[in-house]
């Protein structure tokens, strides 16, 4: 499958906010976004910023304990998922996540578990660097994500 990547970097919350604006365009529904990165890399913080760009005014908390938090904008359901506690793929069944063909947004921290289920997706690898800068590689998989990634062009 064709893939393409872009690399983004930020050193302040203001810069992250600009990147969140880019992501909010890139990740318009339908979209599946799998985020990876060590504890403290900034996954939840980035998701919070993107959800705010979409106009969500609810409090956006870490879903680590609850596993799935659901938000609604117009007719779209946004799933903020955290698979930190998942130990094997069979456990994903109970989460009742949407199928790849529905018009939803799935933002999944520790999301590698879902690679096989969603051929069209973005994978984001976040890294926290020694100087506290954040580094994110976004890779698009599948036609629509590739088209969108070219659209934001960097």
* C-alpha to C-alpha distance for 105 and 33, rounded to whole angstroms: 8
Rule CB under 8 A: is residue 128 a binding residue for other proteins? yes
Candidate list 68, 76, 117, 142; residue touching other proteins; CB under 8 A: 68
Nearer to other proteins, 44 or 139 (CB): 44
Per-residue x/- mask for other proteins, residues 14 to 53, rule CB under 8 A? ------------------------xxx---xx--x-----
Nearest to 122 by CA among 32, 62, 59: 32
For residues 139 and 122, the answer to whether their CB atoms sit within 8 Å is: yes
Rule CB under 8 A: is residue 91 a binding residue for other proteins? yes
- Of the listed pieces 6-14, 56-64, 118-126, 137-145, which binds other proteins according to CB under 8 A? 56-64
Question: C-beta of 88: minimal distance to other proteins in Å?
Answer: 8
Cα 5 to the center of its chain, rounded Å: 15
* C-alpha to C-alpha distance for 82 and 67, rounded to whole angstroms: 5
Tokens of 32: 């599946």
């Amino acid at each position: 499958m064709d893939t393409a990547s872009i690399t983004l970097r930020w050193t302040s919350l203001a810069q992250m906010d600009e990147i969140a604006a880019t992501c909010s365009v890139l990740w318009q529904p339908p979209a599946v976004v799998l985020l990876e990165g060590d504890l403290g890399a900034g996954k939840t913080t980035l998701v919070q910023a993107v959800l705010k760009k979409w106009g969500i005014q609810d409090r956006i908390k870490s879903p680590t304990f609850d596993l799935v938090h659901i938000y609604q904008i117009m007719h779209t359901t946004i799933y903020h998922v955290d698979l930190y506690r998942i130990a094997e793929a069979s456990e994903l069944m109970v989460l009742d996540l949407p199928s790849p063909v529905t018009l939803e947004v799935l933002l999944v921290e520790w999301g590698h578990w879902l690679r096989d289920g969603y051929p069209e997706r973005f994978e984001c690898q976040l890294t926290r660097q020694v100087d506290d800068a954040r580094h994110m590689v976004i890779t698009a998989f599948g036609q629509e994500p590739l088209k969108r990634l070219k659209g934001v062009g960097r």
